Each structure stands twice: as structure tokens, then as C-alpha cells.
Amino acid sequence: PPRPRVWPVFVGYVVVFAAQIAVGAIVVGIGMISRLAGRPGLDRGGYQRILEEVTTAPATMIVALGLSAVILFAAALGGAGLSPEPTRARLRIGPGRWPVWRIALGVVAFYGLSEFLSAIPSLAGWHSNSIEAFVRTVSRSSPAAIALLVVVAGLAAPIAEELFFRGYVQTRLGA
């Protein structure tokens, strides 16, 4: 069989990257406009505080991550749809070959590895602003917002990312 063309992958990646940056800027821009309405004459520090409030707001994270997942889903499905191969085959969507016990063991092992690796920067005295911002966001979120964050950040975004990168990109570059 002929090798798939590689250039659409690079074009798709650039389009996805640009779309995610644009959508993030639009979401933050809308949040800024809504918070600045009726607050004329703020100083620079006031704008910076509002920007931090907007970027760490649960609604901003939910909408931005959700739209990012939609972009990745659309790119993967759109790119696979242009292929002469059926979409399921192009994206390698199908039953796995691993038994359930091996998958469960992998989940537990990855969780342990994640905890171990996240402890290293803390023990070294390093701090991550993005993780601290996420923890602040979750700590001031309602139970409904936390549930949405789990669905969007814990399920939709990773599935969309895997579908795009492993399903679409890797199948083209690895062929």
C-alpha cells in the first residue's frame, strides 16, 4: 500500500495549535470584558488582578479545556475522514488486546509514578505556578464545577489528545 502523505499532519498540527491559542485568547478576552464592565479607570495592578481572576476561574478553565478538546476531536476526525481508509482503521479505534487486570495494574502503576515524580520538585523546593493555580481554582469551585473539571480535564481533553496524536498523527508518521 502507498505511504500516507505526511504534509497534512504538519498542516493539521499548525492549525490545531493556532486554533487553541486563538480560542484561549478569546475565552480570556470575553472573561476580561465581562469583569471590566463598569470598572473604568483601573490601574495596571487592577488589570493584572482581574486577568489572574479570569485565568484561574473555574468557568474559564472548563470552557477553554472543553473547546480545546473539541478542536482536537474535530481535527482527528476531519483528518481521518480525508483518508481513503475507514475512520476507525485510520484512528486505530477498536478493542484493545490487553486483559483488564493488566490495564488496572497500569493505572495503579502510573498513579504511583505520578505521585513519586510530583514529590521530587516539592522536595527540591521548586514550585509550579500552573499547578498552584489549578489547585486554587479547584479549591474555590462548587461541586458541580469540580465534576465538570473532572469530565473535561480528566476525560474529554486526554481522550481528544490521544485521538489526535496517537490516532491521527502517529498513524501517518509511523506508516
**Read out DSSP for 41-98?**
T--HHHHHHHHHHHHT-HHHHHHHHHHHHHHHHHHHHHHHHTSSS-HHHHTT-S--SS
pLDDT of residue 89 exceeding 70, the answer is yes
- Mean pLDDT over 7-36 rounds to 92
Mean pLDDT, the chain, integer:
87
Residue 161: Cβ within 10 Å count: 16
pLDDT number for residue 175: 61
Task: Name the phi and psi angles at 41, rounded to 5.
Answer: 75, 30
The confidence score (pLDDT) of residue 1 equals 63
For residue 169, pLDDT over 80 is answered with yes
pLDDT at 108: 95
Given this model, what pLDDT does residue 171 score?
83
pTM exceeding 0.85: no
- Lowest average pLDDT, out of 45-49, 60-64, 131-135, goes to 131-135
Taking only the tens place, the pLDDT of each residue in 127-161 is 777 777 778 888 889 999 999 999 998 899 999 99
Query: pLDDT by residue (tens digit) across 101-119?
Result: 999 999 999 999 988 988 8
Residue 133: predicted pLDDT? 77
Helix (H) or strand (E) holding 153: none
pLDDT tier, 7 (very low <50, low <70, confident <90, very high otherwise):
confident
